[in-house]
Chain A
Amino acid sequence: DAKTTQPTSMDCAEGRAANLPCNHSTISGNEYVYWYRQIHSQGPQYIIHGLKNNETNEMASLIITEDRKSSTLILPHATLRDTAVYYCIVRDFWASYDKVIFGPGTSLSVIP
């Protein structure tokens, strides 16, 4: 089962910041938070990941709360091409195997 919960859907106006929340209240100290998105009919696209600190790259920013129980993915200036399903997952650094478990994700609609 997925260890994260996300809103089912969100809307965002084009050009505005899209803030996508994720709850991972049972996260352990060894677990990373990863974000992916999937545009219909395509493979999931990696966006960003973090362990404790906030992270930023050319696509997005990731804000992780101090207690690490939740995080927010920020797309600073959403465009129509950002319309997709966004998945927040946790991955255990010490797991004996390596697999991703996606939950239902958040369907983000960017509105013109």
Chain B
Amino acid sequence: KAGVTQTPRYLIKTRGQQVTLSCSPISGHRSVSWYQQTPGQGLQFLFEYFSETQRNKGNFPGRFSGRQFSNSRSEMNVSTLELGDSALYLCASSLEPGAGNTIYFGEGSWLTVV
């Protein structure tokens, strides 16, 4: 069974550009969440989606946005990139929301902003 797949794995962008990251959850999983991980801040929650609806959003500026499609795939977008956006962006999926459902993480997308 394939795990959570994230694309691209590595990318370099210039300040001011925008980026779109893609996530394919484990087959059958309908809940998708996104996290940003940096050495200084650790793992920080970005957003959570279930059945194409954003259920919760972390404390990030409006430049960070996301969506979920009817097939449960998800994308996140960061506009007007800043140097501080350089991070590992992780997507995670579970069957449904709730602590009884295990959350599985993808390998992440490494974003470098120069």
Chain A residues with a Cβ under 8 A of chain B: 30-32, 34, 36, 41-46, 49, 91-93, 95-104
Contacts and interface: CB of A to CB of B under 8 A. Distances in A.
Contact of B107 (A31, A43, A46, A101): A43
A26 to B, nearest CB: 16
B94 to A, nearest CB: 7
A36 B103 CA distance: 10
B56 interface: yes
28 contacts: A30-B99, A36-B105, A42-B108, A43-B4, A43-B90, A43-B105, A43-B106, A43-B107, A44-B90, A45-B105, A46-B105, A49-B102, A92-B99, A93-B100, A96-B56, A98-B31, A98-B33, A98-B55, A98-B56, A98-B94, A98-B98, A98-B99, A99-B48, A99-B58, A100-B35, A100-B45, A101-B43, A103-B42
A97 B56 contact: yes
Which has the most chain B C-beta neighbours within 10 Å: A34, A42, A46, A99? A99
Contacts, number: 63
Interface residues of B, number: 27
Nearest to A103: B42
B96 to A, nearest CB: 9
Contacts of B99: 30-32, 91-93, 95, 98
